[in-house]
């Protein structure tokens, strides 16, 4: 098994994003790339956080999103979804489900690597620049990813690793390179 490192976090985040955003990312207008934290901080996006914990470590996964009307309208146009009712409420519901799916995918990846872990209920953070707040609690490692629509940021994801005291030298994590499911299982629908 390989020691847990930045590459492991990158694999977990990229694979969970690829699985969760499979339907969106198939469109030519959408790109998903690793990004630097300062790009997220420049956006002042809102965030939703979910935690994954095992006996030797904890991971915090954040999904950063814009609540601007123009972004919400462009998003729903892109997924060709007919919206009845308040778009902002349905968008917030979508974001919450997206974080659940992201964390669930990451939790499954950890399970494939032999870790028994559990995840928390997502919580919306009522602050902007949550990445700066995460830096205060000094993660052992972090990685960030962005989903762009027509070159404009739509979502960002951040994954932070906190290794429990006493496990710094022997915590290992082998993350298999998994193929993204071709089915749209768990795909969200709006009615």
**pLDDT digit string, tens, across residues 142-167:** 999 999 888 889 889 999 998 887 66
Average pLDDT for 55-79: 84
Predicted local confidence at residue 81, as pLDDT: 66
- Inside any domain, residue 122: yes
CA 57 centroid distance within chain: 18
**Which helix (H) or strand (E) covers residue 64, if one does?**
strand 57-65
Q: What pLDDT, in 10s, does the model give residues 27-46?
A: 777 888 999 999 999 987 88
Predicted local confidence at residue 76, as pLDDT: 77
Q: Which residues contact 71 (CB under 8 A, 6 or more apart)?
A: 152, 154
Residue 191, pLDDT > 60, answer no
Domain that residue 31 falls in: 6-163
pLDDT band at residue 182 using 50, 70 and 90 as cut-offs: very low
- Inside any domain, residue 32: yes
* Span of 22-26, 73-77, 183-187 with lowest mean pLDDT: 183-187
In Å, how far are 4, 88, 97, 142 from 93, measured between CA atoms? 33, 9, 6, 26
Q: How far apart are CA 80 and CA 78, in angstroms?
A: 5
Predicted local confidence at residue 133, as pLDDT: 85
Q: For residue 151, count other CB atoms closer than 10 A to its CB.
A: 7
- Inside any domain, residue 184: no
User: In CATH, what number is assigned to the domain containing residue 109?
Assistant: 3.40.1550.10
Number of domains the chain contains: 1
């Amino acid at each position: 098994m390989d020691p847990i490192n930045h590459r492991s976090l990158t694999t977990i985040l990229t694979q969970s994003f690829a699985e969760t955003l499979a339907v969106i990312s198939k469109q030519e207008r959408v790109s998903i790339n690793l990004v630097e934290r300062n790009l997220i901080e420049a956006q002042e996006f809102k965030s939703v956080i979910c935690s994954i914990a095992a006996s030797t470590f904890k991971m915090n996964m954040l999904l950063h999103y814009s609540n601007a009307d123009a972004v919400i309208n462009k998003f729903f146009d892109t997924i060709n979804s007919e919206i009845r009712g308040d778009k902002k409420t349905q968008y917030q519901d979508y974001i919450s489900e997206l974080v659940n799916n992201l964390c669930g995918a990451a939790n499954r990846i950890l399970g494939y690597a032999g870790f028994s872990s559990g995840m928390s209920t997502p919580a919306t953070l009522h602050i902007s620049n949550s990445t700066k707040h995460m830096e205060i609690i000094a993660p052992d490692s972090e990685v960030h990813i962005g989903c762009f629509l027509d070159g404009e940021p739509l979502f960002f994801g951040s994954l932070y690793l906190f290794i429990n005291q006493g496990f710094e030298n022997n915590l290992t994590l082998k993350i298999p390179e998994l193929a993204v499911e071709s089915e749209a299982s768990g795909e969200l629908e709006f009615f």
